[in-house]
């Protein structure tokens, strides 16, 4: 599993850098920190226009910008299920293609590995998701984005014959992602996440708020997924500061809550919601016209189901703009 992740990540980055260098395009998003003074000075005959503030790249929230990007997310989660220590390792690949200055198509898919300490181990795939994002500026300091996608129920464990280990693998992987990407792991449901973001950037400071509603309908696996439909929600808040063009610090507060009452919540009300806090650093590497923005973060549950299961998570993401 680890070898697969390294190979996929290396391939994505190599292909992206080669494509960008060949096409000579500028990156679709940049740091909010001031640009280097080594840049070519504007023509004296034309006064420079004020630089557009740019929000920091989030750790897990949506990027509120139409862009040509590829991204590799690696997440390692450690916690307990049924009083048994477990761990999950995830590798998510996502990409977006800018159709217009305001609209982009996107897709995501991933693999994950689940281990019960001293017990079972299982590898699995997530549901793939496809969708679109519409983003625009609101004045000089704000950006607004709306997004919608569809999660196709073909991940590992779909149907009524999935083993308990595989069902636990999907549950643990969802916790490792702060219960924020539930549609990826609800392998018996057709999910339609819809959401919006408002981002603010002023000089080196950034803030972003996000809200998502995720209705889903069961299309298979009635024996293992007793709910004909569910209504889930997620929301997040980001605060960040760019100390340098090559160094950003961000914190995120992530909240997940079921708006309907699934059978699992009827049996155990602590499964209703989860609150997670995260902090991370991000840097940037520039190769020709390719901008690579690796980030490292730590997260943990502070309330709800994730905290009750003592989950802690380490994430490493590599977004690439070309």
Q: What are the sequence ranges of the domains in the chain?
A: 2-33+52-321
Please determine, for residue 35, whether its predicted confidence score (pLDDT) is greater than 80: no
* pTM of the full structure: 0.85
pLDDT band at 32 (very low <50, low <70, confident <90, very high): very low
Mean pLDDT of 57-68: 95
Mean pLDDT of 205-220: 97
Tell me how far apart the alpha carbons of residues 239 and 61 are, in angstroms, rounded to a whole number. 11
- pLDDT at residue 4, as a whole number: 41
For 2-33+52-321, which CATH superfamily applies?
monomeric porin ompg (2.40.160.40)
Q: Which of 29-43, 166-180, 182-196, 273-287 has the lowest mean pLDDT?
A: 29-43
Q: Mean pLDDT score of the chain, rounded to an integer?
A: 87
Please determine, for residue 51, whether its predicted confidence score (pLDDT) is greater than 60: no
Give the pLDDT confidence of 81-113 residue by residue, as tens digits: 988 999 999 999 999 999 999 999 999 999 999
The token pair at 158 is: 């779909």
- CB 210, CB 197: distance < 8 Å: yes
- pLDDT at residue 54, as a whole number: 74
């Amino acid at each position: 599993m680890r070898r697969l992740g390294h190979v996929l990540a290396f391939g994505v980055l190599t292909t992206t850098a080669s494509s960008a260098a060949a096409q000579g395009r500028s990156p679709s998003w940049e740091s909010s920190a001031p640009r280097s003074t080594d840049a070519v000075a504007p023509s004296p005959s034309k006064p420079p226009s004020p630089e557009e503030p740019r929000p920091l790249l989030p750790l897990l929230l949506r990027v509120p910008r139409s862009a040509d990007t590829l991204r590799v997310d690696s997440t390692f989660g450690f916690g307990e299920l049924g009083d048994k220590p477990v761990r999950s390792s995830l590798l998510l690949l996502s990409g977006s293609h800018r159709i217009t200055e305001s609209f982009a198509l996107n897709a995501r898919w991933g693999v994950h590995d689940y281990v019960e300490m001293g017990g079972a181990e299982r590898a699995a795939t997530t549901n793939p998701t496809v969708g679109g994002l519409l983003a625009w500026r609101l004045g000089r300091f704000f950006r607004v984005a709306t997004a919608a996608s569809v999660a196709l129920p073909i991940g590992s464990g779909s149907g009524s014959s999935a083993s308990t280990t595989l069902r636990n693998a999907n549950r643990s992987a969802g916790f490792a992602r702060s219960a924020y990407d539930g549609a990826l792991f609800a392998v018996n449901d057709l999910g339609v996440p819809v959401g919006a973001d408002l981002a603010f950037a002023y000089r080196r400071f950034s803030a972003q708020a996000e809200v998502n509603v995720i209705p889903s309908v069961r299309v298979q696996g009635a024996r293992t997924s007793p709910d004909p439909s569910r209504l889930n929600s997620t929301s997040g808040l980001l605060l960040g500061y760019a100390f340098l063009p090559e160094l950003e610090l961000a914190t995120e507060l992530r909240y997940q809550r079921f708006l309907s009452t699934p059978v699992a919540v009827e049996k155990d009300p602590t499964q209703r919601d989860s609150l997670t806090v995260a902090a991370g650093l991000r840097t940037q590497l520039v190769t020709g016209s390719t901008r690579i923005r690796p980030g490292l973060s730590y997260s943990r549950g502070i309330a709800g189901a994730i905290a009750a299961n003592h989950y802690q998570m380490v994430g490493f993401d590599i977004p690439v703009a070309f």
